Homo-oligomer: A and B are copies of this chain.
Amino acid sequence: MSTTTYACDLAAVCDAAARLAGVVHRTPVMTSATLDERAGRRVFLKCENLQKVGAFKYRGASNAVRKLTDAQAARGVVTHSSGNHAQALALAARVRGIPAYIVMPKTAPAVKKAAVEGYGGIVTECEPNLAAREMAASELVAKTGATLIPPFDHEDVIAGQGTAAIELLEDAPGLDAIVAPVGGGGLLSGCAVAGLGMKPTIRVFGAEPLGADDAARSKAAGEWVPQTAPNTIADGLLTSTGRLTWPIIRDRVERVFTVTDDQIRAAMRFVWERLKLVVEPSGAVGVAVVLSDEFRALANIGSVGIVLSGGNVSLDKLYW
């Protein structure tokens, strides 16, 4: 009998789903005859780009914020992020009526800072390195008593992200497989726990840019490998997997596929052009995987669900 204990189980995801009902959007699951044709099988897209703040991150952040006791909540929440988690945590905190302290590198684009402030977040700028970010966050925790909510390596965050897979399987119960992008692994590990919990025969795959392929290398090595010097257009997937997410990915995810930035750009354009959905590079990585020759060659997968994880891109440039 296994003695491994994971940070998340199906019960935790179901609890999160109940907690988040009416709080997060139940995003639509979309299909496209052209996509099915190109993928060689039926494809179901879970449109988390249509989630509040434009990304699945609102699920995990809301679950974590809503689980705080009133006394904890009153002191607020803290994170360090310049990405979608920062916006998600700011909005989740505002909805509960509590402060969100967001540490951002002073090199972060002004538009990202403005987005966080638009959701009521209180931004603290720091030097652009991990040590400075962690230090600034620790100082805020010490000063305010606020609770640190990290972007992925947290049990309530993982459980919250897993609710996307519950909804996907409710809407498309016949799925043979689920593909989710992997950066820190919150979404992938949550979807693996929820997907396999609901349907033990389902196969769960990770989708990763070749320029930040630590999860694929970790899977191949059978042990955690950190990401160093990532280089990819998929800027939401740069980080290493975490202490809590990695064991789930190791044991519950069948395989992590990698795709090049050109494949990601092509998939992104396909989704914009044919599905009429604005998806960010990181959000299109699952589509790129499913359209790849390697994935198309897999047997016994009649239908696959893909999490389109986010849609937050600058519209001031072309990506192709």
Contacts and interface: CB of A to CB of B under 8 A. Distances in A.
Interface stretch (A167-175, A183-191, A245-253, A269-277): A269-277
A317 B272 CA distance: 13
Interface string A220-242: 00000000000000000000000
A28 interface: yes
Given A277-B278, A278-B277, A278-B278, A269 B318 contact: no
A49 B276 contact: yes
B278 A315 contact: no
A50 interface: yes
A311 interface: yes
Contacts of A293: none
A273 B28 CA distance: 18
A54 interface: yes
Interface size class of chain A, counting residues whose CB lies under 8 Å from the partner chain: 10 to 19
A20 to B, nearest CB: 17
A315 B318 contact: yes
A115 B278 CA distance: 21
Interface string A26-58: 001010000000000000000001100010000
Contacts of A315: 269, 272-273, 318, 320
Contacts of A276: 49-50, 54, 277-279, 311
Interface string A48-90: 0110001000000000000000000000000000000000000
Contacts of A49: 276
Interface string A299-320: 0000000000001000111101
A318 B316 contact: yes
A268 B52 CA distance: 19
Nearest to A277: B276
A279 B315 CA distance: 13
A131 B121 CA distance: 61
A164 to B, nearest CB: 16
Interface string A265-291: 000010011011111000000000000
A273 B318 CA distance: 14
A279 B277 CA distance: 9
A121 to B, nearest CB: 16
Nearest to A30: B50
A33 to B, nearest CB: 8
A22 to B, nearest CB: 14
A316 B318 CA distance: 7
Contacts of A318: 315-318
A114 to B, nearest CB: 13
8 contacts: A30-B50, A50-B276, A273-B278, A273-B315, A276-B279, A276-B311, A277-B278, A316-B318
Given A50-B276, A276-B279, A318-B318, 16 more contacts: A28-B28, A30-B50, A49-B276, A50-B275, A54-B276, A272-B315, A273-B315, A276-B277, A276-B278, A276-B311, A277-B277, A277-B278, A278-B278, A315-B318, A315-B320, A316-B318
